[in-house]
């Protein structure tokens, strides 16, 4: 048996009547005639209803128009009033030069947000209204002196002695508490720096020329992208956040490149958006983007940069949501999803301990303690971890257990370097009050001396090698060349004089790492010769390590050494290095390129990449090195983050 067939579906039919002889031709007259016929076909009642509705709608329209017009008039009147009442801010930067100064640059309007510009660098009292920012200098100085005296009266000064270091702590010295102290709020006591030298000297002009050349390449081929690929005249993306542009903002300010700064500022204002589904590395984006924005804010006084910094800082915070409070390496700034690298749940020690200067400063500026608390929690946990060797730390830390992993390997190079740098710099940033940071730093320097410091043969160059499970390796990354500068900075801030001696010795070595190469540029890694043999040089390079990425560390330390000793030989060494960069890494069409072989001057093999730190750090430090004015970004007023972005010292001794 088959089931009966289903009933046929009911169909609705529409009947269409086509009028014979009259076809639609789409003409206006056809449409007019058709409408009129329809109108005539309506009943009288229908026509009256339609006419009533149309009249009603017209009346409503007229009434609305009258009221909106009133509001517009009132609104315009108010802002005109306000404009009259508000004193006009003098622009930070003078009106930009004409577009002809740089081919292809569109004319820029002067920005009203600027207050004063190079050569007048200034730290402003942040997060306040513009009135607050205009406090006069006399009042500022009186308050600073008064506060310093009050503090002096109420503080008993003690002497902290640590392994030969005799340090007079600043008033209020104490161990950090578990909760971050309320960050010192910005005030008119923020340190200020003197005017930049009226006109750059010849060597500084050469740096400006190098910067312009690098910037021209970026501007032409990579505008708004992360990095320039100067040889292929294109770009590469890492985070897709205009990394080079942000990293370079404060360098442009310091070099007095007003037009370039304004154009970049406009990009930040119009194009930089952090609501993006993109993973960023917490450390790299903190030191380059957050640090760059904070520094640009301090130098220019432009709130735009602080707003962007706060937005970005908020988006990084999910990285700290881990079982151990040791942050993940990566965080998605659009979705807030944070995670370690794909192959491990470890983070790098240098990365999690070199974000504190920036997070602390962000808290100070915004008044929101969460940034500082999250970052300082990491410092506290790392401070008390087992697995260190006389203050030296391993290279990895687990985000679940919060413990060091891959124990027994110690280096001052990649993955550990800036841990040591930030111990000292946080202590300086906070006004030399956080004794625990100082103790960890001093202990680490002693650990370096004991386990990692050796002399090469035949030249007896002092160098910092590596230790792996008790075995010493005479390997030194170029990255380690930050250390002479950091040691010199510590000595300047009252740490033992033998730190400066070590700084000088290591500086000589870092210079030789450049000098002994055929191009005059250091390779990424060198190995030192430990045994006296006539035919061997002190500095050896393996084929895989012969590249130079335009890194800053040697010139960074040259800057500190010159600034703090006054010895002009450091400027001469920096000048040699700048000339080498120009000879071997400058790409004619714009930009500079990292190279693959520093030992082949005939074919250094450009790698087609200009790292953002070449503009953010290398050229900035060269410019500062060639300055003979110690008040240009004074080391008593500013501390540079590990990407060379200057941040103010919170309570500089003497208040100046």
| Given the residues 263, 351, 361, 417, the one annotated as active site | 417
| Given the residues 553, 556, 608, 617, the one annotated as active site | 553
Query: Between residues 122 and 418, which has the closer beta carbon with respect to ligand DMJ?
Result: 418
The DSSP code sequence of 391-415 is TB--SEEETTT--EESTTEE-SSTT
Asked if 642 interacts with ligand DMJ (CB under 6 A), we say yes
Least gap, CB of 482 to ligand DMJ (angstroms): 7
Contact map string, positions 366 to 405, toward ligand DMJ, x by CB under 6 A: ----------------------------------------
Report which secondary-structure segment, H or E, holds 467.
Answer: strand 466-468
Sequence-distant (≥ 6) Cβ neighbours of residue 136 within 8 angstroms: none
Buried b (16+ CB within 10 A) or exposed e, 44-57: eeeeeeeeeeeeee
Contact map string, positions 398 to 437, toward ligand DMJ, x by CB under 6 A: --------------------x-------------------
Query: Between residues 418 and 585, which has the closer beta carbon with respect to ligand DMJ?
Result: 418
- Given candidates 420, 560, 613, 623, which one binds ligand DMJ under the rule CB under 6 A? 613
Query: For residues 249 and 296, is the Cβ–Cβ distance under 8 A?
Result: yes
Query: Between residues 114 and 621, which has the closer beta carbon with respect to ligand DMJ?
Result: 621
Asked if 524 interacts with ligand DMJ (CB under 6 A), we say no
Least gap, CB of 510 to ligand DMJ (angstroms): 13
Least gap, CB of 593 to ligand DMJ (angstroms): 16
| DSSP one-letter code for 614 | I
- Given candidates 318, 643, 647, 648, which one binds ligand DMJ under the rule CB under 6 A? 643
Strands 404-405 and 396-398: antiparallel
Query: Between residues 348 and 597, which has the closer beta carbon with respect to ligand DMJ?
Result: 348
Least gap, CB of 641 to ligand DMJ (angstroms): 9
State the Cα–Cα distance between residues 144 and 654, nearest whole angstrom.
Answer: 8
Asked if 641 interacts with ligand DMJ (CB under 6 A), we say no
Residues in 538-557 at the binding interface with ligand DMJ, rule: CB under 6 A: 551-552
Distances (CA, A) of 178 to 21, 181, 357: 94, 9, 18
| DSSP one-letter code for 481 | G
Query: Between residues 203 and 645, which has the closer beta carbon with respect to ligand DMJ?
Result: 645
State the Cα–Cα distance between residues 257 and 118, nearest whole angstrom.
Answer: 9
359: region left, alpha or beta (phi > 0 left; psi from -120 to 50 alpha): alpha
Least gap, CB of 412 to ligand DMJ (angstroms): 12
Asked if 620 interacts with ligand DMJ (CB under 6 A), we say no
Sequence-distant (≥ 6) Cβ neighbours of residue 646 within 8 angstroms: 250, 295, 298, 299, 633, 638, 639, 640
Is 411 labelled a binding residue? no
567 is catalytic: no
Burial degree of 223 (CB within 10 A; 0-12, 13-18, 19+): middle
Query: Between residues 227 and 617, which has the closer beta carbon with respect to ligand DMJ?
Result: 617
501 is catalytic: no
Sequence-distant (≥ 6) Cβ neighbours of residue 191 within 8 angstroms: 123, 634, 636, 637, 638, 648, 649, 652, 655, 656
Asked if 466 interacts with ligand DMJ (CB under 6 A), we say no
Least gap, CB of 228 to ligand DMJ (angstroms): 16
| DSSP one-letter code for 226 | S
143 is catalytic: no
Query: For residues 194 and 628, is the Cβ–Cβ distance under 8 A?
Result: no
Sequence-distant (≥ 6) Cβ neighbours of residue 97 within 8 angstroms: 258, 259
| Given the residues 284, 330, 373, 439, the one annotated as active site | 284
Contact map string, positions 470 to 499, toward ligand DMJ, x by CB under 6 A: ---------x--------------------
Query: Between residues 398 and 641, which has the closer beta carbon with respect to ligand DMJ?
Result: 641
| Given the residues 227, 361, 524, 608, the one annotated as active site | 524
Report which secondary-structure segment, H or E, holds 162.
Answer: strand 160-162
* Residues touching ligand DMJ, count (CB under 6 A): 8
State the Cα–Cα distance between residues 555 and 482, nearest whole angstrom.
Answer: 9
284 is catalytic: yes
Asked if 226 interacts with ligand DMJ (CB under 6 A), we say no
Q: Residue numbers of the site for ligand DMJ (CB under 6 A)?
A: 418, 479, 551-552, 613, 617, 642-643
Could you list the active site residues?
Answer: 284, 417, 524, 553
Annotated binding site for Ca(2+): 642
């Amino acid at each position: 048996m088959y089931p009966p067939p289903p009933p046929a579906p009911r169909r609705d039919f529409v009947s269409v009547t086509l009028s014979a002889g009259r076809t639609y031709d789409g003409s206006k007259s056809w449409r007019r005639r058709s409408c009129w016929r329809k109108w005539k076909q309506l009943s009288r009642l229908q026509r009256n209803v339609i006419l009533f509705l149309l009249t009603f709608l017209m009346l409503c329209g007229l009434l609305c128009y009258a009221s909106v017009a009133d509001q517009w008039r009132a609104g315009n009147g108010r802002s005109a009033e306000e404009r009259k009442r508000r004193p006009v801010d003098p622009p930070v930067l003078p009106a930009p030069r004409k577009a002809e100064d740089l081919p292809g640059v569109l004319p820029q309007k002067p920005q009203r947000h600027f207050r004063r510009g190079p050569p007048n660098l200034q730290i402003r009292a942040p997060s306040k209204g513009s009135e607050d920012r205009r406090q006069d200098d006399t009042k500022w100085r009186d308050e600073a002196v008064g506060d310093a005296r009050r503090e002096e009266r109420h503080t008993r000064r003690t002497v902290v002695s640590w392994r030969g270091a005799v340090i007079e702590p600043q008033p209020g010295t104490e161990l950090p508490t578990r909760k971050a102290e309320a960050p010192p709020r910005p005030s008119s006591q923020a340190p200020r720096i003197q005017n930049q030298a009226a006109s750059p000297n010849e060597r500084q002009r050469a740096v400006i020329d190098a910067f312009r050349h690098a910037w021209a390449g970026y501007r032409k081929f990579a505008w708004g992208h992360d990095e320039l690929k100067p040889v292929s005249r294109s770009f590469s993306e890492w985070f897709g956040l205009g990394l080079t542009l942000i990293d370079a903002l404060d360098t442009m300010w310091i070099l007095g490149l007003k037009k370039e700064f304004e154009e970049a500022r406009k990009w930040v204002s119009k194009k930089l958006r952090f609501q993006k589904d993109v993973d960023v590395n917490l450390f790299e984006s903190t030191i380059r983007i957050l640090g760059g924005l904070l520094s640009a804010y301090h130098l220019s006084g432009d709130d735009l940069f602080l707003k962007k910094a706060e937005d970005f800082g908020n988006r990084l915070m999910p990285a700290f949501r881990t079982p151990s409070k040791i942050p993940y390496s990566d965080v998605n700034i659009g979705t807030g999803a944070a995670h370690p690298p794909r192959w491990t749940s470890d983070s790098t020690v240098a990365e999690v301990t070199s974000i504190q200067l920036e997070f602390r400063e962000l808290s100070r500026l915004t008044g929101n303690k969460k940034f500082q608390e999250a970052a300082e929690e990491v410092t506290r946990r790392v401070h008390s971890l087992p697995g260190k060797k006389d203050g030296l730390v391993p290279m990895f830390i687990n985000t679940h257990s919060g413990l060091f992993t891959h124990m027994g390997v110690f280096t001052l190079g990649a993955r550990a370097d800036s841990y040591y740098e930030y111990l000292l710099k946080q202590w300086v940033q906070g006004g030399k009050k956080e004794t625990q940071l100082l103790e960890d730093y001093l202990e680490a320097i002693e650990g370096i001396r004991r386990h990692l410091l050796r002399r090469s043969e035949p030249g007896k160059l002092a160098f910092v090698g590596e230790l792996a499970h008790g075995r010493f390796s005479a390997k030194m990354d170029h990255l380690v060349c930050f250390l002479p500068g950091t040691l010199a900075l510590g000595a300047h801030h009252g740490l033992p004089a033998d730190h400066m001696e070590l700084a000088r010795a290591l500086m000589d070595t870092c210079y030789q790492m450049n000098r002994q190469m055929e191009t005059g540029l250091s390779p990424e890694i060198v190995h030192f010769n430990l045994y006296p043999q006539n035919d061997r040089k002190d500095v050896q390079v393996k084929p895989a390590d012969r590249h130079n990425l335009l890194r800053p560390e040697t010139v960074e330390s040259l800057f500190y050494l010159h600034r703090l000793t006054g010895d002009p030989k450091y400027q001469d060494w920096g000048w040699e290095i700048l000339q080498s960069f120009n000879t071997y890494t400058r790409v004619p069409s714009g930009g500079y390129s990292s190279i693959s072989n520093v030992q082949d001057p005939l074919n250094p093999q450009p790698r087609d990449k200009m790292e953002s730190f070449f503009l953010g750090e290398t050229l900035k430090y060269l410019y500062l090195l060639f300055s003979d004015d110690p008040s240009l970004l004074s080391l008593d007023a500013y501390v540079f983050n590990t990407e060379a972005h200057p941040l103010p010292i919170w309570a500089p001794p003497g208040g100046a």
